[in-house]
Each structure stands twice: as C-alpha cells, then as structure tokens.
Amino acid sequence: MLDDAYARSIAKELKHMTTHQIEERKKASREIREMKKLGDEYAKNDARALRARQKAQCLTLISRLDEAVADDESRWVGSASLRVCSPEALFPEPFPTTKPRVPYVSNVAVKADARGRGVASSMLVKCERASRLWGYTHLWLHVDVDNQRAREMYERRGYVACGEDPWWYGLGGVLGARRVLLKKLIGEKL
C-alpha cells in the first residue's frame, strides 16, 4: 500500500519536473541561439550563455512499461536523471572546482516489481544516447557500495569503477551511503 502511494507521489512529481525541464530546455535553447547571433566568442564567455547550456543539458527520463494499466500514475516503473556536473568534485555545486563537467546519471530508481525486466538498462541507453548527442565521450554515475545487484548490472553494461567515497563519507550513514564512482566510454571524440 505504501509502495503504491509512494509510486503515485513520484509519478506526479516526475510529471511536473519533466514538464518544467522541457520548458527550461526550450528557453535555454532560445537563449543559446540568441547568444550565437552575437558571436561565438562572446557566447562562450557569457555567464548567461553558460547557464543556458547547463539548463539545456539536463534531462529526466521516465520509463513506463505497464501499458495495460489505464491510470497514468500507476504505470510508473522507473526513472533516472541526467545532467552535466562535476562528480569528481570534493564538494557539490555551487562550490567551485577544477574538476571537469561531464554527463552524470543520478536517481536511478525502478519499482520493485519491475526489476530485472531491463527498465534501468533501457534508461541508461537513453542517457548514453543523449550524452553522445551533447558531444561527450563518457557517462558517469555513482552506485552505493552495498548495492551489489545494481553494480553488477552497470558492470555488465560496460561501466568501470574509477573511484570510491572515503571510509569516513556519510559519517556512518548519516549523510548517505558510501558510493563507488563508475564511468563508461560511450563514443569517440569527433
């Protein structure tokens, strides 16, 4: 019962977030086009253009497999977020870092009764495709150290470990679980 209520809540929130993000991406794309009209060098260095590019490179994917169910909210089976950030940074944004900004998958969630049916893999394929379209060659993500099933799935898909949170991370779980940073080569530089 709680699982269904939680799924409905997530579906409602994701529907709102997705609509908002689509509008933000449209706005960001318009801003980028306007900046390009002013000249490439100006557009590269302008803070507004940078924010516009960052907004354009944010995507939330929703996978719905239960086509037999009539109610939209009860069909939600999984979600994942894709954005450009610095996953190797010591502190999260907005703290400054010298680490590169790369495409990063987060918040991968699959409804318990839909696990093992390829939902997460399907969403990762879409994230990889979007990252290639954005011009990147690698895709990054974190997985909890203790989530062996998810880690094995990522490794089967070609992701390799490239870092791990230090032993003191999360202060024994207070701030979250320790994580492993994974990345995958998704294409060659054009």
Q: Which residue has the higher pLDDT, 162 or 90?
A: 162
Domain covering 64-190: architecture: 3-Layer(aba) Sandwich (3.40)
Token pair listed for 9: 């809540």
CA 180 to chain CA mean position, Å: 16
Cβ contacts of 122 within 8 Å, gap of 6 or more: 63
pLDDT at 41: 55
pLDDT at 13: 65
pLDDT, one tens digit per residue, over 48-92 is 666 666 656 677 666 665 555 555 555 778 889 998 888 888 777
Q: What is the pTM of this model?
A: 0.68
**Nearest-angstrom CA–CA distance, 120 and 159:** 14
Query: Domain locations in the chain?
Result: 1-56, 64-190
pLDDT computed for residue 75 by the predictor: 73
pLDDT band at 144 (very low <50, low <70, confident <90, very high): very high
DSSP 117: S
Mean pLDDT of 147-159: 96
Least Cα distance to 177 among 128, 137, 142 occurs for 142
Please report which helix (H) or strand (E) contains residue 61, including its range: strand 58-64
CA distance 159 to 139: 9
